[in-house]
Amino acid sequence: MDLLNTLVEKGLRRELPTREEALAVLATSDDELLDVVAAAGKVRRQWFGRRVKLNYLVNLKSGLCPEDCSYCSQRLGSKAEILKYTWLKPDEASQAAAAGVAGGAKRVCLVASGRGPTDRDVERVGKTIEAIKEQNEGVEVCACLGLLSDGQAERLREAGADAYNHNLNTSEATYGDITKTHTYADRVDTVQKAHAAGLSACSGLIAGMGESDEDLVDVVYALRDLDSDSVPVNFLIPFEGTPLAKEWNLTPQRCLRILAMVRFVCPDVEVRIAGGREVHLRSMQPLALNIANSIFLGDYLTSEGQAGQADLDMIADAGFEVEGAGTTTLPAHRADALAAASGGCGSHAAAEGSGCGSQAPAEGAGCGSHAGGGCGPCGGHAEAPAEAPAAEAASNTARTDLVAVRRRGAGTDLAPNA
């Protein structure tokens, strides 16, 4: 297929595909799907080999959020019966993080529900980061606390944070449909603040909220413009008790096409299969490892993932290897640019015109990203989701049996899944 040959060549050169090429990936047929995965796999292997980076979520504060992100089980008015608790103490968070690190996680993602942190919250998270780093040498810490005010990104950086997550979630044009309490521009501002402070920017999307192919391409191009080092791709978990509970729009094939499109547009960034991996990719998860180079180990913020050991077995069975703590995740050109930005005065290099971001940063909102689980405005689609493609919707059924509310780990007396 000429399209795929072109996309591979561009991906190996870190060249931006045209919008038409990105849209064409989403429009490929099931007969072409393995060719699409193989082509994206060539780009993945060029920049990340056969390594899989494991990330571990610690939900520092769960539920009771005043924001209204439609996809989120922690939103204002959510009827989802999730765990609700206020800030974990630094030693509690550190204990949860240690379980993930022992399971092979290289990065710990500290997430808190809410519009954004107070200065006192930032101080509290700073102590938590210190505790985690003391206990787990070499671990990376990403904070995901929502919209940042001036100076907070710098304080998190000083406290030892390596990265900051704030997802754009969906296109600018549809953002107002999923969230009314903050804007797409708010989200972009926070990603830019993180970047300017020398933090590695992590920003992604949520698919399956009723968006069009054009919306998906728009948000991925926006992420590239923001120069995110990592792009979590969430697949909406339609939680009962949220406005998007009936949005079962995804098939495993659709998820693979979306991941491939992200890989072609952002060839040299950490593409992470995030929330909804088990629910929507199901038995196709190992195939997706040929495209993405990163996953979350174990559970999500408010829902349970497959057993951590099943994640590790899947990686080994598919012929991949867990990335070790001594390995640099990003390709040298991106790692060098990040080091220059974080070591300097926070000027943030634009990564040599390649990767997921040769242009100015501009990113998005809320806190986090882990579809359906919420934390910061991750993505979602409000009360009026667009129609899903008929063929896709018809071939998929609601798999509510695969959605399990988290009842273990952080905020409970039970051991975490890692």
Q: Under the rule (CB under 6 A), what is the footprint of ligand SF4?
A: 65, 67, 69, 72, 74-75, 113, 115, 146, 366-367, 374-378
Of 69, 266, 367, 375, the catalytic one is 69
Residue 266 labeled ligand binder? no
Quick check: is 202 catalytic? yes
Of 107, 109, 257, 334, the catalytic one is 109
Residue 109 labeled ligand binder? yes
Considering the complex, state which of residue 78 and residue 293 has its C-beta at the smaller distance from ligand SF4: 78
Considering the complex, state which of residue 139 and residue 382 has its C-beta at the smaller distance from ligand SF4: 382
Residue 367 labeled ligand binder? no
Shortest spacing between CB 40 and ligand SF4, in angstroms: 28
Shortest spacing between CB 241 and ligand SF4, in angstroms: 13
- Strands (E) located in 174-307: 200-202, 205-207, 230-235, 270-273, 294-296
What is the rounded CA–CA span in Å between residue 131 and residue 181?
A: 33
Considering the complex, state which of residue 258 and residue 375 has its C-beta at the smaller distance from ligand SF4: 375
Give the number of C-alpha atoms closer than 13 A to the C-alpha of residue 317, restricted to the C-beta side. 11
SS3 309: helix
Considering the complex, state which of residue 24 and residue 244 has its C-beta at the smaller distance from ligand SF4: 244
Helix (H) or strand (E) holding 109: strand 107-112
Considering the complex, state which of residue 121 and residue 311 has its C-beta at the smaller distance from ligand SF4: 121
Question: Which residues face 370 on adjacent strands?
Answer: 374
Quick check: is 375 catalytic? no
Quick check: is 142 catalytic? yes
Return the residue nearest ligand SF4 (CB atom): 374
Q: Within 10 Å of residue 320's Cβ, how many Cβ atoms?
A: 18
Q: Is 390 exposed, middle or buried (0-12, 13-18, 19+ CB in 10 A)?
A: exposed
Q: Is 392 exposed, middle or buried (0-12, 13-18, 19+ CB in 10 A)?
A: middle
DSSP 125-171: HHHHHHHHHHHSTT-EEEEE-SSPPTTHHHHHHHTT--EEE---BS-
Of 14, 72, 124, 277, the catalytic one is 72
Shortest spacing between CB 180 and ligand SF4, in angstroms: 11
Shortest spacing between CB 398 and ligand SF4, in angstroms: 22
Residue 69 labeled ligand binder? yes
- How far CA 215 is from CA of 40, 168, 363, 371, 373, in Å, comes to 21, 12, 15, 17, 22
Considering the complex, state which of residue 69 and residue 337 has its C-beta at the smaller distance from ligand SF4: 69
**Interior/surface letters 342-367, b for 16+ CB within 10 angstroms, e for the rest:** beeebebbbbeebbbbbeebbbbbbb
What is the rounded CA–CA span in Å between residue 230 and residue 199?
A: 12
The set of residues, in sequence order, having a beta carbon less than 8 Å from that of 186 and lying 6+ positions away, is 147, 364, 365, 366, 377
What is the rounded CA–CA span in Å between residue 163 and residue 321?
A: 23
What is the rounded CA–CA span in Å between residue 109 and residue 118?
A: 19
Give the number of C-alpha atoms closer than 13 A to the C-alpha of residue 86, restricted to the C-beta side. 2
Residue 142 labeled ligand binder? yes
Of 75, 107, 142, 277, the catalytic one is 142
Quick check: is 255 catalytic? no
Contact 312, 52 (CB under 8 A): no
Rg, Å, the chain Cα set:
19
Residue 255 labeled ligand binder? no
Shortest spacing between CB 63 and ligand SF4, in angstroms: 8
Of 107, 272, 277, 406, the catalytic one is 272
Shortest spacing between CB 108 and ligand SF4, in angstroms: 18
Shortest spacing between CB 58 and ligand SF4, in angstroms: 15
Considering the complex, state which of residue 69 and residue 188 has its C-beta at the smaller distance from ligand SF4: 69
Which segments are annotated as binding site for [2Fe-2S] cluster?
109, 142, 202, 272
Which segments are annotated as binding site for [4Fe-4S] cluster?
65, 69, 72
* Residues tagged active-site: 65, 69, 72, 109, 142, 202, 272
